[in-house]
Amino acid sequence: MDLITDTSFLIGLWRKQNWAIRFASERPSEVLGIPWVVFAEFWHGARRAGHDPEEVRRFLDLGLPLMDAESVIMSYAEVCTDLQESTPGIYQQIGQNDLWIAATARTHDRPLVTRNARHFHAVRGLEVVALQQ
C-alpha cells in the first residue's frame, strides 16, 4: 500500500472529476489504502444518493480495505491528545472521522490523499497530499 485515501478523493474518482482521474492516472501502480471510516462515509453518501450497491462495491474494489480499527486506536488517542493540548480550537473544528483517517495514515506511515487539507494540516507526523482542481 502506497497511499491512504480520504473520502473526498474517492468521491472525485467516483464522479470522474478531472483532478482525481489525473492524480490516479499519474500513479497507475500505486496501491490505495481505504480506511474503514472512509468506506463508511462513502457508503453513507452512496446510499443517500440511491446508487446501485453492486456498482459501489465494484468501485470500492479499487483499493485495499483497511478494516482493523484496533491497530489505529493508540495513534488516534495520540492525535486527539496532541491537538487538544497544542491547538484546542483546531481540534474542535476537525470531525472525528477525519481524526480516525489521519490516525490510520499515521499508523501505516503513508501519505494521506485529500482535497480537504485544512482538516489534516495540524496533525503532526502526517504527510498530506493536497489535491487541487
The domains of the chain, with CATH numbers, are 3-130 (3.40.50.1010)
What pLDDT digit, counting tens, does each position of 50-100 carry? Answer: 999 999 999 999 999 999 999 999 999 999 999 999 988 889 899 999 999
Is the pLDDT score of 133 beyond 80? no
Supply 122's cell numbers. 495540524
Supply the pTM of this predicted model.
Answer: 0.94
The residues near 49 (Cβ < 8 Å, ≥ 6 apart) are none
Average pLDDT over residues 14-42: 96
pLDDT at 116: 87
pLDDT at 132: 85
Cα distances (Å, whole numbers) of residue 131 to 4, 114, 115: 13, 6, 5
